[in-house]
Amino acid sequence: MPSTWKVISIEKADEKRFLKFLDGDRILHIFTIYDMTFMRDKTRVWASFKDDEICGYLFEFDKRIVHTHGTIECITKLLRYIDLDEPVLVIEPHHLAVVKGFFEPVEPTDASSKGKITTYLVMKTTAGTFKPLIGHRVKRLGIEDINEVSEHLGEEWEKRVRDAIHQGIAFGAYEEDALVSVATVPEIIENIGFIRGVYTAPSLRGRGLATSACSALVKEVIALGREAVLWIAEDNLPAKRVYEKIGFQKTEHVLLGFKARRLQKKNSSF
């Protein structure tokens, strides 16, 4: 008997089943879980079903970023639902050939990347692999530290640290009593502390400040009984070395990211 296929838009009534599917691999689906949990009004999701089982999905955030996950058969069907002409795409490596039938890679999503596509490694550390290296004064940041973040690191990082203070965890590292490096987990998601912001003032890079801030952050995440997870561009060697030094290890997951341009208009026939 031939398989039956269908694609549906995930609405409120479907979310429980879809989130259960994502829960099968929280590390791979961490951005989807995060955005559906905390920014649902900016997300659109289409899931592909084969014989009533989810085999893949397409996730759009803020009308500009699109993630694809699942089998090639599913992704071929789902790509037709993208109505953006210049999306930022995040895909699994085996999707690339199919995606190139719809979109042309234009620019990598990380400036350190060689070529037009960024390869992301998904890394994690746990209590068993973590090796903290703290060579500077560090502190868990509170709302009383916001002005200093703005003064030394700028308005963008003031906002990111403020959000992490309210909903997650933020740590800072100091050089001569000045707060010059930060590391943040915006929210704890189930058993994962997802590190989404590490930054050091440009004039003070290379002194181990990010290593200290990140070590203190991960130490707190592990103390809470969670795993620390992050994405890193494969070609961002300085950052990769920092994370490897403190015990982050590659997971089985690799993702590709790039700014894209449509080659053909979407085809609504299936």
Q: Where are the domains of the chain?
A: 5-120+255-262, 130-247
Fold of 130-247: Aminopeptidase (3.40.630)
Determine the pLDDT at residue 38.
85
| Tokens 């838009």 belong to residue | 9
Phi/psi at 32 (5° precision): -65, -45
What are the residues facing 173 on neighbouring strands? Answer: 138, 181
**Is there a contact between 107 and 87 (Cβ–Cβ < 8 Å)?**
no
Q: Is the pLDDT of residue 233 over 90?
A: yes
Determine the pLDDT at residue 265.
58
Helix/strand/coil percent split, the chain, to 5: 35, 35, 30
| Tokens 């992490």 belong to residue | 164
3-state secondary structure of 162: helix
**Is there a contact between 33 and 26 (Cβ–Cβ < 8 Å)?**
yes
CA distances from 31 to 3, 40, 167, 211, 218 (A): 30, 12, 16, 24, 19
Split at pLDDT 50, 70, 90, the class of 14 is confident
Q: Do domains 5-120+255-262 and 130-247 have the same CATH topology?
A: yes
Least confident of 32-41, 67-76, 113-122: 32-41
Q: Which helix (H) or strand (E) holds 218?
A: helix 209-223
Architecture of domain 5-120+255-262: 3-Layer(aba) Sandwich (3.40)
Q: Is the pLDDT of residue 266 over 60?
A: no
Q: Is the pLDDT of residue 267 over 70?
A: no
Determine the pLDDT at residue 189.
87
pTM for the model stands at 0.88
Mean pLDDT of 95-123: 96
Mean pLDDT of 76-84: 93
Split at pLDDT 50, 70, 90, the class of 269 is very low
**Is there a contact between 201 and 181 (Cβ–Cβ < 8 Å)?**
yes
Q: Is the pLDDT of residue 216 over 50?
A: yes
